[in-house]
């Protein structure tokens, strides 16, 4: 089903943009909100997606489109995992059933998808600085449209957001920042800023002060009197409320306001749309509102797979995930080594460091959406003899490249960088694929980098990392379940830089990295049935490479084939080719991985089929490379 039934879309079917939302009568808005929630719950039960964030912004998004007209006015969503409602109100309701499906609409804002998506996203910390850039362009061009950046309170811990706050008043005189305060990013928000926002929710003093100042202004006449009252209000508010933070940044503060009160939101948006001067509107929303399983368990339904609508059940797991194996093993290691600490950036549940936190809360650190800080924070711990493990998704670890190079590797600090969701992150698409980490990190001196073939080897690699005390190390592992191999107890360390020969062969050497070993095993079976002798090597280490193993295989074989869940440009295969070329080896190398482009969203099977990374496609590529024309 690609769209809701006609009976369920009596309002949505007639909405193709802001103007249609604006034509609705006020009494129709609650019906529209209920219909949108029904569509969200029913559609995502089949497709999966970011349910809880979108249920929380239904009224907020409707109110935005009641006042602002996209694409002329610009609405930017930070991260943009909460833009499903915006998509439904801007002509994409008929295709909403395809969200996150191969060939369907994206689960994030995407400029190429719609003119209503002014800025694509997928990572936190973009909506405010990008919105300011648009504002600067608008001002230079002499135009007069509105720009609204919707930023969650979790993303306010982002360095780029804080840098944007510092620049608003000096960049433009017309800008609207909405603080969507729901106490959650993926997990519950941490740190001083969320506590600060919670304090703002509890004070009515500033509202009283603003109203009193307005009454005085109505009585007193003259510019000087107005200036005096304004100064009085500013000084008094700084004394009795915590709002001076925003005031000193040059922002007029409005709120807190109920983010589910469409009448009040619409009135407030109309006021700020006509005024000059940058402002911040503090909106209080409930993540998962309207669907009890999501409102009672926001982390689970932040990003969820298919589920049962009646109770929110997602079905039994197919097995232990790499993340669970990581969390369990690190917890086991920490019980024996008191120097081990665990650090994450707002995702203890996603990385399964919540298992570690349960046992060692004093050695666990969630720093919020602040990956760069987390990396340098870990470096600081390492200087004092601790063994910090920083666990972040690969797509977010990209933000730490500077710190890995400048702070960890340059100083030989033994920080352990653990990259979850490395490789394809199928349904989330290009903003979340972890397809670039090898290229970004393997050029850094002093760094050890590895990837396991299964969850048991992941445990052995963690033990290996724990023994590396003279330099940083990194491990990448994929999303989802492992190969079903039992976790070792105890887990023995691996010799650093040594690959594993899984099967000997003489014609072709299949050098596979990580989860591509399962593909290599199937390829070897097919080709050997055709009379092609294939060696199968589990690479294990990206850096340092096992050059001795590569040289042994290159001496007698006709073709070396590398397989990796990473882009082919500057990846593992490139490292193999560089190593062999440097030693004068002329054996052809066939590098197989993801192409040099951004990979769309879709299921793993469909994407591997399209980009020829299935066992049959790899077999065909090997046969072609072995043909006389290729030799």
- Edge-first strand order for the sheet with 559-567 is 500-503, 534-538, 508-512, 559-567, 589-594
In three-state secondary structure terms, 320 is coil
Asked whether residue 299 carries a pLDDT value surpassing 50, the answer given is yes
pLDDT at 316: 77
Strands (DSSP E) contained in 153-305 are 176-181, 252-258, 279-284
CB 515 within 8 A of CB 480: no
pLDDT at 183: 67
The Cα–Cα gap between 484 and 321 comes to: 9
The Cα–Cα gap between 399 and 345 comes to: 11
- Start-to-end CA span in the chain (Å): 50
pLDDT at 241: 52
Asked whether residue 185 carries a pLDDT value surpassing 50, the answer given is no
Q: Alpha carbon of 42 to those of 105, 301, 354: distances in Å?
A: 17, 14, 30
Asked whether residue 35 carries a pLDDT value surpassing 80, the answer given is yes
Task: Please give the model's pTM, rounded to 2 decimal places.
Answer: 0.87
Q: 206: pLDDT confidence band, cut at 50, 70 and 90?
A: very low
Residue 552 belongs to what H/E stretch?
A: helix 547-556
Q: 302: pLDDT confidence band, cut at 50, 70 and 90?
A: confident
Picking from 373, 408, 412, 414, the residue whose alpha carbon sits closest to that of residue 392 is 373
**Residue 27: active-site member:** no
Task: Say which of 371, 455, 457, 564 is annotated catalytic.
Answer: 371
The Cα–Cα gap between 465 and 162 comes to: 34
To the nearest 10 degrees (0 to 180), the angle between helices 547-556 and 572-582 is 70
- pLDDT 10s digits, 483-520: 999 999 899 999 999 999 999 999 999 999 999 999 99
Average pLDDT of the chain is 90
CB 76 within 8 A of CB 129: no
Q: Is 38 exposed, middle or buried (0-12, 13-18, 19+ CB in 10 A)?
A: middle
Lowest mean pLDDT of 40-49, 175-184, 192-201, name the range: 192-201
Topology given in CATH for the domain delimited by 322-476 = Rossmann fold (3.40.50)
Asked whether residue 580 carries a pLDDT value surpassing 60, the answer given is yes
**CATH classification number, 500-630, choose in 1.10.8.60, 3.90.380.10, 3.40.50.920, 3.40.50.11270:** 3.40.50.920
Mean pLDDT over residues 201-208, rounded? Answer: 44
Asked whether residue 248 carries a pLDDT value surpassing 90, the answer given is no
The Cα–Cα gap between 600 and 429 comes to: 5
pLDDT at 620: 97
Pairing mode of beta strands 541-543, 448-450: antiparallel
Q: Alpha carbon of 585 to those of 290, 371, 550, 558, 571: distances in Å?
A: 64, 41, 10, 12, 19
Q: Which residue has the higher pLDDT, 304 or 142?
A: 142
Q: Alpha carbon of 70 to those of 57, 90, 264, 353: distances in Å?
A: 17, 8, 21, 41
- Mind giving me the DSSP string for 226-256? HHHHHHHHHHHHHHHSSTHHHHHTT-EEEEE
Asked whether residue 231 carries a pLDDT value surpassing 60, the answer given is no
In three-state secondary structure terms, 392 is strand
Task: Say which of 66, 87, 92, 287 is annotated catalytic.
Answer: 287
In three-state secondary structure terms, 629 is helix
Lowest mean pLDDT of 30-44, 305-319, 383-397, name the range: 305-319
- pLDDT 10s digits, 278-288: 999 999 999 99
Mean pLDDT over residues 525-550, rounded? Answer: 98
**Residue 287: active-site member:** yes
Q: 223: pLDDT confidence band, cut at 50, 70 and 90?
A: low
Q: How many helices (H) and strands (E) are present in the chain, helices listed first?
A: 27, 17
Give me the sign of the Cα torsion angle 431, 433, 439, 445: positive
Q: What is the DSSP letter of 338?
A: T
CB 15 within 8 A of CB 93: yes
Asked whether residue 188 carries a pLDDT value surpassing 60, the answer given is no
pLDDT at 246: 85
**Residue 371: active-site member:** yes
- Whether the bond between 347 and the residue before it is cis, its omega within 30 degrees of 0, is no
The Cα–Cα gap between 290 and 452 comes to: 42
Mean pLDDT over residues 350-373, rounded? Answer: 96
Mean pLDDT over residues 90-95, rounded? Answer: 96
Q: 545: pLDDT confidence band, cut at 50, 70 and 90?
A: very high
Asked whether residue 590 carries a pLDDT value surpassing 70, the answer given is yes
Mean pLDDT over residues 372-377, rounded? Answer: 97
pLDDT at 318: 75
Structural domain boundaries of the chain? 10-200+250-302, 204-241, 322-476, 500-630
CATH superfamily ID and name for 10-200+250-302: Thiamin diphosphate (ThDP)-binding fold, Pyr/PP domains (3.40.50.970)
Task: Say which of 399, 524, 540, 608 is annotated catalytic.
Answer: 399
Mean pLDDT over residues 230-254, rounded? Answer: 66
Mean pLDDT over residues 573-598, rounded? Answer: 97
Q: 156: pLDDT confidence band, cut at 50, 70 and 90?
A: confident
> Is 500-630 in the same CATH topology as 322-476?
yes
Q: 245: pLDDT confidence band, cut at 50, 70 and 90?
A: confident
> 126: number of CA atoms within 13 Å, CB side?
18
The Cα–Cα gap between 486 and 64 comes to: 52
- pLDDT 10s digits, 37-49: 999 999 999 999 9
Picking from 54, 283, 254, 18, the residue whose alpha carbon sits closest to that of residue 151 is 283
Q: 477: pLDDT confidence band, cut at 50, 70 and 90?
A: very high
């Amino acid at each position: 089903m690609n769209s809701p039934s006609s009976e369920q879309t009596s309002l949505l079917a007639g909405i193709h943009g802001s103007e249609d939302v604006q034509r609705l009568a006020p009494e129709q808005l609650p019906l529209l909100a209920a219909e949108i929630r029904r569509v969200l719950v029913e559609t995502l039960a089949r497709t999966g997606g970011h349910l809880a964030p979108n249920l929380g912004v239904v009224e907020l998004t409707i109110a935005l489109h009641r006042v602002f007209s996209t694409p002329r006015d610009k609405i930017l969503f930070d991260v943009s995992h909460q833009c499903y409602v915006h998509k439904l109100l801007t002509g994409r309701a008929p295709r909403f059933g395809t969200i996150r499906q191969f060939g369907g609409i994206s689960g994030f804002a995407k400029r190429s998808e719609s003119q209503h998506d002014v800025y694509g996203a997928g990572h936190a910390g973009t909506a405010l600085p990008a919105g300011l850039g648009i504002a600067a362009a608008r001002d230079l061009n002499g135009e007069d449209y509105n720009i609204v950046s919707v930023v969650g309170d979790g993303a306010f811990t982002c360095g780029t957001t804080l840098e944007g706050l510092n620049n608003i008043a000096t960049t433009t005189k017309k800008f609207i920042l909405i603080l969507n305060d729901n106490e959650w990013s993926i997990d519950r928000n941490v740190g001083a800023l969320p506590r600060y926002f919670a304090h703002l929710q509890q004070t009515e003093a500033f509202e009283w002060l603003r109203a009193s100042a307005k009454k005085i202004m109505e009585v007193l006449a003259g510019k000087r009197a107005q200036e005096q009252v304004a100064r009085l209000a500013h000084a008094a508010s700084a004394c009795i409320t915590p709002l001076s933070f925003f005031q000193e940044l040059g922002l007029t503060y409005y709120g807190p306001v109920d983010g589910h009160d469409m009448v009040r939101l619409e009135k407030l948006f109309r006021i700020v749309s006509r005024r000059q001067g940058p402002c911040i509107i503090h909106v209080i929303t409930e993540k998962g509102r309207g669907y009890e399983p999501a409102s009672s368990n926001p982390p689970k339904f932040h990003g969820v797979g298919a589920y049962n609508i009646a109770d929110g059940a997602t079905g039994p797991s197919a097995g232990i995930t790499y993340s669970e194996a990581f969390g369990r093993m690190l917890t086991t290691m920490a019980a024996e080594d008191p120097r081990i600490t665990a650090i994450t950036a707002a995702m203890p549940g996603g990385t399964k460091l919540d298992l570690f936190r349960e046992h060692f809360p004093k050695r666990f650190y969630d720093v919020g959406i602040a990956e760069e800080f987390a990396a340098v924070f870990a470096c600081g711990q390492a200087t004092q003899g601790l063994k910090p493990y920083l666990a972040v998704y690969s797509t977010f670890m990209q933000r730490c490249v500077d710190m890995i190079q400048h702070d960890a590797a340059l100083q030989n600090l033994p920080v352990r960088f653990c990259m979850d969701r490395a490789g394809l992150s199928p349904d989330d698409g290009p903003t979340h694929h972890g397809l670039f980490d090898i290229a970004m990190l393997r050029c850094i001196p002093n760094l050890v980098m590895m990837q396991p073939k299964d969850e048991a080897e992941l445990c052995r690699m963690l033990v290996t990392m724990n023994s590396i005390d003279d330099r940083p190390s990194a491990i990448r592992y994929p999303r989802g379940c492992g190969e079903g191999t039992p976790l070792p107890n105890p887990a023995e360390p691996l010799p650093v830089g040594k690959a594993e020969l899984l099967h000997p062969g003489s014609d072709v050497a299949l050098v596979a990295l990580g989860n591509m070993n399962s593909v290599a095993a199937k390829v070897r079976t097919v080709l050997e049935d055709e009379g092609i002798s294939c060696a199968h090597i589990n690479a294990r280490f990206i850096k340092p490479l096992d050059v001795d193993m590569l040289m042994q295989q290159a001496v007698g074989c006709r073709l070396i084939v590398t397989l990796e869940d990473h882009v082919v440009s500057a990846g593992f295969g490139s490292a193999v080719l560089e190593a062999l070329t440097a030693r004068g080896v002329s054996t052809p190398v066939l590098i197989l991985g993801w192409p040099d482009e951004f990979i769309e969203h879709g299921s793993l099977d469909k994407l591997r089929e399209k980009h020829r990374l299935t066992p049959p496609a790899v077999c065909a590529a090997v046969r072609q490379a072995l043909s006389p024309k290729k030799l």
